[in-house]
Chains A and B, each alone.
Chain A
Amino acid sequence: MSEKSPADEVRAAIGGLLPRLRRFARVITRHVADADDLVQVTVEKALTRADQWRHGSRIDSWMFGIMKHAWIDEVRSRGRRGRVHAPEEAGATVGDNSAAARDIALSVQAAMARLPEEQRLAVALVLVEGLSYKDAAQALDVPIGTLTSRLARGREALQALLGDEGGVH
């Protein structure tokens, strides 16, 4: 009988989850380098507390939750040190101007960056990461009704920022 320990399972899943963890970290931090740091801290925490992961539950939403808490800790300690980054202007990225698809993506990301954090995280978990309302609520540590209303308000704001079609605003 060689049952894998929770730690083994978590460790085995992390490699495949990294791109999504980084993506969510960028939504949270709105800063590329901060996002990478946040991913690193999240993975390290997940590995040290792998025994807290409940077998059978989703590892991705569990790790998104760890990430959110790590970020809260970081923001608190930055506040104490009085050093808070201005968020990067997602819309100001130069990138490849010839690619219309990229321009649209940037304007969506720029609009996302303007949402209040609560709404931004709800939108990212459900619409970008494809979590169910239940899993997203669990990751954010809020009741499902709270998640739903944050999601609805976030979408409304995005709709207003983006308009109905195209990426021009």
Chain B
Amino acid sequence: MKYADETLMAYADGELDAATRAEIEAEIARDPGLARAVERHRALAARVRGAYAAELEEPMPARLASLADKPAAPVADLAARRAGRRIGAGRWQLPAWSALAASLMVGLFVATLVMRGPGAPYEDVDGVLVARGELDAALTNELASRPASAGVSIGVSFRDREGGYCRTFRLQQESPVAGLACRSGGDWQVRTLAESAGQDGEVRTASSMPLAVLQAVDATIDGEPLDATAEASARDAGWKSSD
């Protein structure tokens, strides 16, 4: 072949100067093999681009969306951030209410987190914390792409390793909390709940997710979060796991 494959690639990518481009075009007109090679580069490029197109549509977690709004904060490196997230790893992976209670005792405020009585957003059902009221309604009906209608905003939605649906949420109340809830038999079981403001002196915006919740997502998620389309169809199908 007269041209190196790298040159054909650069041609397919529109990276050549006008003179070389014209030269190659003349050659392509004569040589179907060359035309096929260029076509192959273009097809692969389109396929790769297409494979990542949907990712732009996925809802942005609030903690990222709000990054540019906050005043310049001292940069914590990724290692420090992850190390922070690891604190309590394992504890947060246990789904049961008992584990949740144990976590709560470690520096969280049980009384303000878990409100009791009528109108409370959770109910203790046989030792499992289940979403009720506006939290249940928001988890069932709201899409993450929508701004929070009332006191609840939805973060990311995804499937767990058993194929069930889980969603993160944030509850705006006197002391804001955030958590992870997973669908189970028509209910949303609250697997993780954490204070949503001012932990460990870290600068937080009102909408960022606490480390404990991120950690819980990490431990639960299978693959990637749902994109906006998948989220909407999961909701429309009533959050039933497919298998």
Q: Taking beta carbons and an 8 Å cutoff, which residues of A are in contact with B?
A: 11-12, 14-15, 18-20, 22-23, 26-27, 32-34, 36-41, 43-45, 47-48, 70-71, 73-74, 77-78, 81, 88, 90, 92-97, 102, 104-106, 108-109, 112, 123-124, 126-128, 130, 132-133, 148-149, 151-152, 155-156, 158-159, 162, 164
Contacts and interface: CB of A to CB of B under 8 A. Distances in A.
B60 A19 contact: yes
A155 B9 contact: yes
B55 A22 contact: yes
Contacts of A94: 159, 163, 222-223
A89 to B, nearest CB: 8
A43 B66 CA distance: 11
Contact of A109 (B52, B60, B76): B52
Contacts of A88: 223
19 contacts: A23-B55, A36-B61, A37-B78, A37-B81, A41-B76, A43-B64, A43-B68, A48-B72, A48-B75, A74-B78, A78-B79, A81-B79, A94-B163, A105-B50, A105-B51, A112-B51, A128-B48, A133-B13, A155-B45
Contacts of A32: 221, 223-225
B138 interface: no
B5 interface: yes
Interface string B37-71: 00011011101111110111110110111011000
A41 B47 contact: no
A132 B52 CA distance: 18
Contacts of A127: 44-45, 48-49
Contact of B68 (A15, A77, A102, A112): A15
A12 B9 CA distance: 35
Interface in B74-105: 75-79, 81-82, 85
